[in-house]
Chains A and B, each alone.
Chain A
Amino acid sequence: MIVDRLIEWFPTSAAWPGITFIVAVILCAVPVFLFIAVYALVAIYGELKISSFIQDKVGPMGQGVGLHAWRWGLLQPVADALKLILKEDIIPSSADKKLFILAPFIVFIGAFIAFSALPFSQTLIIADMNIGIFYILAVSSLGVIGIILAGWSSNNKWSLYGAMRSAAQIVSYEIPAALSIVAVIMLTSTMSMQGIIQYQSGLIWGFLPNWLLFNNPFTFLAFFIFFISGVAECNRTPFDIPEAESELVAGAFTEYSGMRYAFFFLSEYANMFVVSGVAASAFMGGWQSPIPGMLDTPGWGLFWFMSKSMFLIFMMIWFRWTFPRLRVDQLMDVCWKGFIPISLVNIFGVGIWHLIVG
């Protein structure tokens, strides 16, 4: 949408269509990158504070010259970011240099390009593709390759174990996530993100907003399967065996430092946002107001989308500091013996429901 409009705006369109296209794409990409960076700072601050509160601590309280003991330690993420930027960039001498350098970027690109199909509001979506939700699922599988490369190129056993675990986990949990999205697509009969959100307007059961979460018992279940699989795809606790600090140092990221490590960190947070954004759009009405008809201008749309996504991110942080880590075999059991059969039954159930209730 925004890409199309930018292309239309440029007067030189007719003479140099190729350059207009590239400029329009760059004009969309830069704000997305800035958004990810700022959002990551907010999320890291949230993670620090929430984890502290859960553990009955106060968390960061004050940083920096002249800012010491300034309220709530708001500058902690900035200090963290500065530290990461200024750190020495170490590449192990026995590492495979080219792949070691390439890996963080592949991981980040997988998370980054998914943002182009996320609907932030009625009008604020970079490209409303026909295959929007499928596109997001597709490109988010790119990150696995980056993690495998990171683990292999580090030439370190912990890294390799972490990478193997991570790849097995992400490849497995992609299946229930995709299957629960199939249940959504069956009802909405469109894969465009805006189409899916528009389907969820109005009321259901007389008082609830017509979100797919409330639409029927099968989509209700599908939401939880999608969200938990999403948490697993982000490699977050309770599914963080690829990183497992207590067993593998830092998994695939053991040998990384400075900016390269920051890129992995950034992509983990970006992935969290993508998963939450997709869950919010597909199951919780995206930019739709929770009370239909109230405050549903595009500006408020952005507010609703962000609050729903941020709530889901808060849930992920809450998970992380509440649940213990799963073992590898438990992790695979949950996915292959639990989620996949349930989501297959879900698809069947949604079909029956669609036929009977309409």
Chain B
Amino acid sequence: MDNIAFGLIVAITLGSALMVVISQQLLYSAIALLFTLFGVAGLYIFMWADFMAGVQIVIYIGGILVLLIFGIMLTNKISSVNISHTSLQRRVGAVITLGVLGFLIPMITKTSWLQISSEEPAQTADSIGRLLMMEYLLPFEVASLLLLGALIGAAMLSRNTN
């Protein structure tokens, strides 16, 4: 099942990622991002990381993308449909991109990638939970403290001052 499904998911991911960059309308980019993020969730499943795929959908699609679209819609007038973003400085951009590509290609070819086992692991979320709650409890709590701080900050900012 792997090759065709994998090819399909990669095609969706890359194709929509290209759309995100090329599209002239900001909202179209956001919608293309929906498919990219979904494709990435599919890629997680190929690494037997089904829990990560679920988290990807909940956080990136259900949370971040919705906020992104909200932001686009709220910062623009309702009546103006045309929200466009054009690309500037194409030549400089091309040079920088090619430079990054020059770094990336040797990295991709020289890294000794981990082989994914073909056996389906019995439990995936289980071991993540154990690691988070036992071995990495402190970083986990620090991260949640950071999020709590951000939440309180956002509530403070949006509060009606009078």
Contact = CB atoms under 8 A, between A and B. Distances in A.
A152 B73 contact: yes
A96 interface: yes
B10 interface: no
Interface string A164-192: 10010001001000000000000000010
Contact of A138 (B54, B66, B79): B54
B62 interface: yes
A138 to B, nearest CB: 4
A17 B7 CA distance: 13
Interface residues of A, number: 36
A303 B1 CA distance: 34
Contacts of A149: 31, 69
A18 B5 contact: yes
A145 B58 contact: no
A164 B67 CA distance: 11
A21 B70 contact: no
Given A141-B61, A155-B81, A167 B1 contact: no
Contact of A152 (B27, B57, B63, B65): B27
B99 to A, nearest CB: 35
Nearest to A189: B126
Contacts of B65: 145
Interface string B48-79: 00110011011001110110011001000011
Interface stretch (A56-64, A127-135, A213-221, A272-280): A127-135
B4 interface: yes
Contact of B69 (A21, A96, A138, A148): A148
A330 interface: no
Chain A interface SS verdict (over half): helix
A214 to B, nearest CB: 26
A142 interface: yes
A7 interface: yes
A144 interface: yes
Interface of B: 1-5, 27-28, 31, 34, 50-51, 54-55, 57-58, 61-63, 65-66, 69-70, 73, 78-79, 81, 123-125
18 contacts: A17-B1, A17-B2, A18-B2, A99-B27, A130-B50, A134-B54, A134-B125, A135-B54, A137-B58, A142-B57, A145-B66, A148-B69, A155-B81, A157-B78, A164-B73, A167-B66, A171-B62, A171-B66
Interface of A: 7, 17-22, 94, 96, 98-99, 102, 106, 129-131, 134-135, 137-139, 141-142, 144-145, 148-149, 152, 155, 157, 160, 164, 167, 171, 174, 191
